């Protein structure tokens, strides 16, 4: 490695913004950082991501001293390209739930057990396969133009390598140069992480057209090439040159090529897989990340096939598996509480800490955006158990914090049910800085919780992957801890489970329609929504048994995340 180019860069192109970290490849020390915002919404023009990447790189002082770079990004988003490499329509993001019916239809057509056996996941509205089905049915003219399908990090890597529409790129619209990695591909619902490889039949079922993996361009990314694709022989099974191109899946530290500026580009990763790399997650570590979405995940070599759909059996960025539970309602729940109570986030934390475990009987079921796990896309949030005695701001504040964390605790149970052991939890994300979140977590989780120093672990993980791609060996980077939290027994989760089960049952009853049986519409709900607590006091149970009007809210609105 030349002294002029001795550092590595990692990119986190998330829902809200693009972050760039530049690090020493040996120690992992952060040299400098930069960021730029993304536009809000659940569908976004990918050009906004490209612009933000350039701005974030500039804010980080440029890449003149960078030898390697990897890009991680939000998962599941649908980037549809035409034959000229142009984006056909705004990308549908993971939090766009208009494809909820499409997801149910895919499960009905393939069968839940078969789907999980083939991909490790059960389709929900967030996944790319469901979005493809929606595009096919809702926008047939756009669907007819699709020549390639990419994910956000795939498209950004392709652009950074110099490809794109002829009028805006150095190397032109070479779709065969599209690349991805197993961690991000495993979030499409047409990829088998145990193979690993695409399940092209599932793609055809989803979109109604054949697909094939990009042939790749050996060494082409290291030189300026003509914008034409190599010949691909057809074999009559979706492999013809006219089939829709899916990005070539790279090995965990396989280079995608060099950028026009001679920067080696790593394979990149899905955001949670990159975070696991950045945190140095090993067996016995389970991560709880509280950002725009909430996630619970860990790394394992165990096969993951949760037939309930609660746990997605994604691939990790290091060649293993990354079982993951995701919730749509995480840090935004705190935003909602602050807005409702007309306080700052610091004041919200103080209020919550002035209450006590259980919030004097108040319980929030926090499905403000619908929910992905459990799979209740039309659900709305409920504040339950309110009486004249407990209707105080501090109890409301604590109920919001507890509800958010209880949803993640149920996710932790589901991940552990797949065979993963929890020796410790790692609490990360913007909301992990909130003192009330840290304190209330002690009442809800049952194993020690380490809080790492606040850092951009997704981007750091991408930088660590870039260093791995450069050197051929995964470097050992340390992670500083700022707190260790010890659990204390409480009854908060029992109280929460009762009301969450009521909400799930009511939503299930309201979403059953002609042509869809209850099993079809709820096949991806985890059993945790079916449990209720027999330990609630009679007064709590009495208040919770009152009938409630069902407000069939739509979800997908974007909100900012604050610590």
Q: Which residues form the catalytic set?
A: 271
Q: Closest Cα partner for 500 from 530, 475, 542, 467?
A: 530
As given in the structure block, the two tokens for residue 346 are 């610091």
Residues in contact with 152: Cβ distance below 8 Å, sequence separation at least 6, in sequence order = 13, 46, 49, 73, 74, 75, 77, 79, 91
β-bridge mates for residue 270, sequence order: 73
Range 388-393 contact pairs with CB under 8 angstroms and sequence separation of 24 or more: 389/360, 390/359, 390/360, 390/361, 390/362, 392/355, 392/360, 393/341, 393/343, 393/351
DSSP string computed for 309-374:
SSSEEEE-TTSSEEEEEEES-SHHHHHHHHHHHT--HHHHHHHHHHS-TTGGG-EEE--BTBBTTT
Q: Which residue has the tokens 């950004």?
A: 156
Do residues 47 and 503 make contact, with C-beta atoms less than 8 angstroms apart?
no
Phi-psi domain of 208 (left: phi exceeds 0; alpha: psi -120 through 50; beta: other)? left
Query: Angle at which helices 492-511 and 435-444 pack, to 10 degrees?
Result: 90
* Token representation of residue 14: 């998330």
Query: In residues, how long is the chain?
Result: 563
How far is it, in rounded angstroms, from Cα 563 to Cα 290?
10
**CB under 8 Å, gap of 24 or more: what pairs does 232-238 form?**
237/200, 237/210, 238/200, 238/201, 238/204, 238/210, 238/211, 238/212
Query: CB neighbours (10 Å) of residue 56?
Result: 23
Q: Positive or negative, the Cα torsion across 506, 508, 512, 518?
A: negative
Give the number of other CB atoms < 10 A from CB of residue 4: 8
- Rounded Cα distance between 357 and 492, Å, is 6
- Cβ-contact 250, 161 below 8 angstroms: no
Angstrom distance (rounded) from CA 420 to CA 293? 22
Pairing of strands 43-44, 91-92: antiparallel
Contact residues for 55 (Cβ-Cβ < 8 A; gap 6+) = 18, 34, 36
Strand segments (E) across 407-533:
424-428, 449-452, 481-485
């Amino acid at each position: 490695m030349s002294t002029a180019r001795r550092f590595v860069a990692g990119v986190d192109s998330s829902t809200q913004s693009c972050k760039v970290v530049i690090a020493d490849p040996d120690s992992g020390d952060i040299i400098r950082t930069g960021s730029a915002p993304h536009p809000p919404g659940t569908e976004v023009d990918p050009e906004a991501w490209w612009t933000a990447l350039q701005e974030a790189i500039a804010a980080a002082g440029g890449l003149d001293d960078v030898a390697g770079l990897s890009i991680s990004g939000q998962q599941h988003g649908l980037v549809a390209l035409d034959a000229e490499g142009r984006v056909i329509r705004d990308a549908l993001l993971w939090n766009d739930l208009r494809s909820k019916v499409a997801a149910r239809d895919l499960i009905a057509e393939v069968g839940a057990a078969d789907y999980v056996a083939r991909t490790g996941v059960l389709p929900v509205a967030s996944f790319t396969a469901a979005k493809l089905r929606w595009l096919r049915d809702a926008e047939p003219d756009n669907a007819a133009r699709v020549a390639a399908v990419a994910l956000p990090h795939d498209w950004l890597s392709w652009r950074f390598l110099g490809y794109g529409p002829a009028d805006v790129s150095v190397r032109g619209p070479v779709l065969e140069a599209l690349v991805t990695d197993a961690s991000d591909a495993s979030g499409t619902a047409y990829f088998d992480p145990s193979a690993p490889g695409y399940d092209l039949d599932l793609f055809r079922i989803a979109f109604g057209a054949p697909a094939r993996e990009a042939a790749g361009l050996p060494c082409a990314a290291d030189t300026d090439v003509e914008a034409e694709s190599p010949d691909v022989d057809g074999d009559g099974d979706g492999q013809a040159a006219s089939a829709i191109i899916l990005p070539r899946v790279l090995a965990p530290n396989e280079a995608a090529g060099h950028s026009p500026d001679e920067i080696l580009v790593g394979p990149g990763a899905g955001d949670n897989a990159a975070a696991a790399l950045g945190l140095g997650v090993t067996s016995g570590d389970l991560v709880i990340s509280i950002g725009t979405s909430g996630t619970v995940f860990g790394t394992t070599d165990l096969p993951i096939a949760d037939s309930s759909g609660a746990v997605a059996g994604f691939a990790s960025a290091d060649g293993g598996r990354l079982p993951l539970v995701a919730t749509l309602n995480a840090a935004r729940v705190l935003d909602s509480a602050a807005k409702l109570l007309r306080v700052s986030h610091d004041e919200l934390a103080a209020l919550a800490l002035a209450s006590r475990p259980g919030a004097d009987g108040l319980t929030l079921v926090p499905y403000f955006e619908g929910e992905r796990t459990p799979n209740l896309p039309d659900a709305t949030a409920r504040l339950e158990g309110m009486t004249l005695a407990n209707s105080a701001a501090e109890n409301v504040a604590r109920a919001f914090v507890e509800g958010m964390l209880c949803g993640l605790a149920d996710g932790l149970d589901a991940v552990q049910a797949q065979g993963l052991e929890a020796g410790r939890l790692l609490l990360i994300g913007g909301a992990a800085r909130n003192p009330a979140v840290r304190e209330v977590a002690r009442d809800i989780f049952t194993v020690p919780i380490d809080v790492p120093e606040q850092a951009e672990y997704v981007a750091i993980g991408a930088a660590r992957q870039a260093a791995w791609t450069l050197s051929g060996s995964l470097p050992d980077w340390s992670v500083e801890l700022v707190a260790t939290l010890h659990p204390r027994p409480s009854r908060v989760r029992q109280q929460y489970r009762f009301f969450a089960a009521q909400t799930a049952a009511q939503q299930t009853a309201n979403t059953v329609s002609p042509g869809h049986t209850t099993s079809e519409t709820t096949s991806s709900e985890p059993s945790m929504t079916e449990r209720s607590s027999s330990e609630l006091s009679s007064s709590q149970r009495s208040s919770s048994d009152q009938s409630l009007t069902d407000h069939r809210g739509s979800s997908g609105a974007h909100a900012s995340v604050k610590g």
